[in-house]
Amino acid sequence: MLDPKFSTFSSKAARAMDDAFNAPLAKHTTLKIGGNANRLCHPNTVDELVELVSDLNAKGEPWFILGGGSNLLVSSEGFKGTVVRTTNLTEIKNPEPGIIEAAAGVRLPHIAKKAANLGLSGMEFAVGIPGTIGGGVIMNAGAHGSCMANILLSAKVLDTTTGELKEIAAEDLDFTYRRCKLDPLKHVVVSAVFKMEQGSAADIEKKTKENEDYRWRTQPIGFPNAGSTFKNPEPTKTAGFLLDKSGAKELKEGGAAVSSLHANFVVNLGGATSHDVTTLLKRMQDCVEKEFEIHLQPEWKKLGKFTDSELEVWKS
């Protein structure tokens, strides 16, 4: 049952959303793991998203922003709070040549193909990333030698500590490898503006298709997974290489296993729990530390209740 402290919304946002109580999260994550959330909401506009999160914050109710559900491990025990999915926020604008503005819930493969169709180069790298604009900005999503920081002009961000919605220039986000200065527990990216180079649509579409084909050849598309598991410790030493050479590719724990196609992917063979996955991640880290004396740091985020021993996986 829903915790009594989780009140109904008094704002107009409540009238424009479909919400579910005690909602299973597994079907909303690419790894297909996760217990129930107290409430699951789908705002239909940026204004509704801002109002909803502001309401939750004002009431002191725990919340989490969920986009495409990749790069995330949800506890099998669920989340005692409200999950706000951005997947209804899909507006894309091309207000002037070379500029694309996209709402938080736009999926990266979709905007990559949209940009290619417009003859805009710069987003080709994103076609194989199963995430959304909001999470992509916060995590500085990247592939094929490029990343969001290379094309972002600005992001519109809700600061939930003040209730202020402000435009932040890319140079003020302090982008580094797979992160920026925004705190996903305090900041919500509601939209982003990108600057790209005009070029030949045929050439850009060809490159985008090549990147998409590469993903299909090299990543375990056939099994639920959360994307790349660990960050690359340095450009010349990828996590996949280190895991492969340390023997981690043979590891399996319950319903979770290291992919036989790519060692930096953990797949759900069926019925895997979050405990299976965290135990497997720790074993993968131990293999690399023993062989190379390098500690791998997870790229994934986590949501829900985990034991102290499980949380060791995320310690630096």
Q: Let me know if residue 44 belongs to a domain.
A: yes
The neighbour count for residue 58, using CB atoms within 10 Å, is 11
Tell whether 127 and 192 lie within a shared domain: yes
The domain of 282 spans 239-314
Choosing from 160, 187, 218, the residue where a domain stops is 218
Domain count, the chain: 3
pTM of the model: 0.90
Tell whether 104 and 203 lie within a shared domain: yes
* Whole-angstrom distance, CA of residue 143 vs CA of residue 214: 11
Choosing from 53, 85, 117, the residue where a domain stops is 85
> Which H or E run contains 42?
strand 36-42
Tell whether 103 and 211 lie within a shared domain: yes
Strand 72-74 with 301-303, pairing: parallel
Q: Let me know if residue 224 belongs to a domain.
A: no
Q: Let me know if residue 281 belongs to a domain.
A: yes
Percent with pLDDT over 90 in the chain: 86
Q: Which residues contact 228 (CB under 8 A, 6 or more apart)?
A: 71, 239, 240, 264, 265, 299
Q: Let me know if residue 283 belongs to a domain.
A: yes
Q: Let me know if residue 232 belongs to a domain.
A: no
Taking alpha carbons only, the member of 184, 194, 188 closest to residue 111 is 194
Q: Is 210 in the active site?
A: no
Tell whether 287 and 208 lie within a shared domain: no
Choosing from 32, 62, 85, the residue where a domain stops is 85
Q: Is 312 in the active site?
A: no
Residue 104 belongs to domain with CATH number: 3.30.465.10
Choose the catalytic residue: 48, 253, 299, 310: 299
Tell whether 188 and 265 lie within a shared domain: no
Contact 39, 79 (CB under 8 A): no
Partner residues linked to 159 by β-bridges: 164, 187
Q: What is the pLDDT of residue 2?
A: 44
Choose the catalytic residue: 77, 146, 178, 212: 178
Partner residues linked to 290 by β-bridges: none
Tell whether 106 and 204 lie within a shared domain: yes
Q: Is 291 in the active site?
A: no
The pLDDT tens digits for 261-289 are 999 999 999 999 999 999 999 999 999 99
Q: Is the pLDDT of residue 1 over 50?
A: no
Q: Is the pLDDT of residue 222 over 90?
A: no
| CA-CA-CA-CA dihedral for 191, 36, 221, 306, to nearest 10 | 90
Q: What is the mean pLDDT of the chain?
A: 93
Q: Is the pLDDT of residue 16 over 60?
A: no
Q: Let me know if residue 41 belongs to a domain.
A: yes
Tell whether 75 and 104 lie within a shared domain: no
Choose the catalytic residue: 228, 246, 259, 274: 228
Strand 197-198 with 187-195, pairing: unpaired
Residue 73 belongs to domain with CATH number: 3.30.43.10
Residue 12 binned pLDDT confidence (cut-offs 50, 70, 90): low
Tell whether 192 and 265 lie within a shared domain: no
Q: Let me know if residue 223 belongs to a domain.
A: no
Residue 85 binned pLDDT confidence (cut-offs 50, 70, 90): very high
Tell whether 172 and 199 lie within a shared domain: yes
Contact 25, 83 (CB under 8 A): yes
Query: Which amino acid is residue 65, in one-letter code?
Result: I
Tell whether 192 and 109 lie within a shared domain: yes
Q: What is the pLDDT of residue 14?
A: 54
Residue 4 binned pLDDT confidence (cut-offs 50, 70, 90): very low
Tell whether 254 and 274 lie within a shared domain: yes
Tell whether 206 and 103 lie within a shared domain: yes
Q: Let me know if residue 208 belongs to a domain.
A: yes
Q: Is the pLDDT of residue 259 over 60?
A: yes
Percent with pLDDT over 70 in the chain: 94
* Whole-angstrom distance, CA of residue 85 vs CA of residue 137: 16
Question: Measuring CA to CA, how many Å separate 294 from each of 175, 234, 243, 288?
Answer: 24, 10, 11, 6
Taking alpha carbons only, the member of 291, 182, 294 closest to residue 247 is 291
Residue 258 belongs to domain with CATH number: 3.90.78.10
* Whole-angstrom distance, CA of residue 237 vs CA of residue 101: 35
